[in-house]
Amino acid sequence: MAMFEIGEQDFLLDGEPHQVISGALHYFRVHPDLWADRIRKARLMGLNTIETYVAWNAHSPERGVFDTSGGRDLGRFLDLVAAEGMHAIVRPGPYICAEWDNGGLPAWLFAQPGVGIRRNEPTYMAAVAEYYAALMPVVAPRQVTRGGPVVLVQVENEYGAYGDDEDYLRALVDLTRGHGVDVPLITCDQADDTMLARGGLPELHKTATFGSRSLERLEVLRRHQPTGPLMCMEFWNGWFDSWGLPHHVAAPEANAADLDDLLGAGGSVNLYMFHGGTNFGLTNGANDKGWYLPITTSYDYDAPLAEHGAVTSKYRAMRDVIARHAPVPDELPADAPPAPPLDVPLDRRVPLIAVLPEPVPVAGLPTADELGQWSGFTLYRTRVHADDAVLSVGEVRDRALVLLDGEPVGVLSRRDGVCSVALPARDGELTLLVEDEGRVNYGSRLGEAKGLLGPVRTATREVTSWSATPVELDAGRLAAALAGDAPAAAVPAGAPLAGPVLAGGRFAAEAGVDHFLRLDGWTKGLAWVNGFLLGRYAAAGPTRTLYVPGPVLRDGENDVVVLELHAASAARVSFVAEPDLGLTEV
């Protein structure tokens, strides 16, 4: 058992001053079989603490569910932190931002009539109470006061950038304390006078977020936190990427100098990120400040520990800085070996239209949310006439592949501002496969519904007769569909491939060995290995490879499946020796 307290100037561990040197590592962005490796590498860099958000929607895809299996096993993650001799900071939100789908808030929450998000509103608070009732029994027994690693728990997240409802913050405090959390509670806000004033409570310890000019930012924080330790809860040592924009990098020397200033001033720190990980599956968020920008599958973040767990020059530079202020182990992690390169022909193919579900008649034009589809794809279908000429949609969220009698005729795209498509001059069955490319994770568009938003018009009329259905991309069902199709041996792997199509192939591998899937010549879609959804790919970049964690692989034969929405220059993929995160900003 230990005591962790907030003193007049310092954090106190069993009564002695303690400088928190932490790194962000989100368990839900890392394969669970790799948690121990990433935590150990944090300790070897000189960190004494691991910080993680808790993504509510990762645990609760539907109301009444709280899943702690596999990669959602927060308890196991915290136990591994303790086993490495480190402390933990837990930041449960309910809102986390984190470039994560919907900022961690479950999409079903916004479908509750009258719900008022991130304020002391009864419908919202009832859902939060259910969440905390399931979560806090995982966290509370693992507090440092009970022999566990948890030393701090955060209340909300950068709330000063959103609201100023003190009753809401106090309600969260009461819920947290009511479940037996007795370690210090904190808030964090950007190092901005207005946000720090709005985002906290007098009884909660304030921390700040920033990535440069450390001494100046600490002075801002001190104005709002007159006593107690100064802490940067998010020291931004990199940045996230969006599809179609350059890969962000930050100079290791600049990061190290700012970290040196921070630690030299006696401040505590949490590196955001120490290890970014991956937005596996369909978990990436999006930003919209007038331009909708989905986040990439890679969340490498230009962090000290790369997406695949490799030590970087930034790791070494920051480790050298930490060694000037705190003990650092002599051991350095070994360099990551190159991954096995190989080419894989995809000789099993099935048209996507053949595996899509049959939509059912609906009233009006329901959103994806009204159909209970909280992520992924939604299918809409109607009839068009030869004189319709063009299809125009009020708003698409976020991208729709438009097909006439199963043949592609165009794309509607929120990101690109495309809301109309020309139609061939014939009667036929029109299908719109709408992709949720990631729910907005920050700002005023948080929680907005997905799918098609009307009205939908042609050149001659409003389209009011629709069928619709959610599309579940179950890996087992897709694999079965590919297995049932005759191998496309007559089509050379080097020949172009028309989509939308599912394509699959097999390759030999060794269990536990990381791979990097490269899809040069492919346009846009999803990729699976052994039924594990790696995430989205796009020719728009910047990311050119998808990370395949070693634990996903098995000895001997392995399966790769690609859902290509448009076309590929050849029906083959490759695995390459190292990741390629794309061109960087100059």
Residues marked as catalytic: 158, 234
- What residue segments make up the domains of the chain, in order of their start? 4-323, 342-350+474-576, 358-471
Q: What are the pLDDT digits (tens) for 352-362?
A: 999 999 999 99
Q: Judge contact between 150 and 78, C-beta under 8 A.
A: yes
C-alpha–C-alpha distance, residues 6 and 4, integer Å: 7
Output DSSP code: residue 550.
G
CA 109, 111, 115, 117 dihedral sign is positive
pLDDT value at residue 586 = 42
The Cα-based distances of 535 to 193, 278, 361, 435, 556 in angstroms read 39, 9, 31, 13, 23
CATH class of segment(s) 358-471: mainly beta
The Cα-based distances of 38 to 47, 240, 364, 460 in angstroms read 12, 19, 50, 59
- Full 3-state SS string of 279-320: CCCCCECEEECCCEEEECCECCCCCCECCCCCECHHHHHHHH
Q: Which CATH number fits domain 4-323: 3.40.50.2300, 3.10.105.10, 3.40.50.2000, 3.20.20.80?
A: 3.20.20.80
* Beta strand pairing call for 377-384 and 407-413: unpaired
Please, how many CA atoms are within 13 Å of residue 256, restricted to the half-sphere of its CB?
18
pLDDT value at residue 542 = 98
Q: What are the pLDDT digits (tens) for 110-162?
A: 999 999 999 999 999 999 999 999 999 999 999 999 999 999 999 999 999 99
End-to-end CA distance of the chain: 50
Strand-pairing partners, residue 573, are 344
Structure-block tokens of residue 248: 């962000």
Q: Judge contact between 392 and 457, C-beta under 8 A.
A: yes
Positions in the chain short of pLDDT 70: 485-491, 585-586
C-alpha–C-alpha distance, residues 413 and 461, integer Å: 22
Output DSSP code: residue 12.
E
C-alpha–C-alpha distance, residues 563 and 63, integer Å: 30
Q: Judge contact between 4 and 184, C-beta under 8 A.
A: yes
pTM (two decimals)? 0.97
Structure-block tokens of residue 515: 């791979």
Q: Judge contact between 204 and 185, C-beta under 8 A.
A: yes
Superfamily of domain 342-350+474-576: Galactose-binding domain-like (2.60.120.260)
- The domains spanning 342-350+474-576 and 358-471 adopt the same CATH topology: yes
Strand-pairing partners, residue 530, are none
Distance of CA 314 to the CA centre of its chain: 23
Structure-block tokens of residue 107: 């999409």
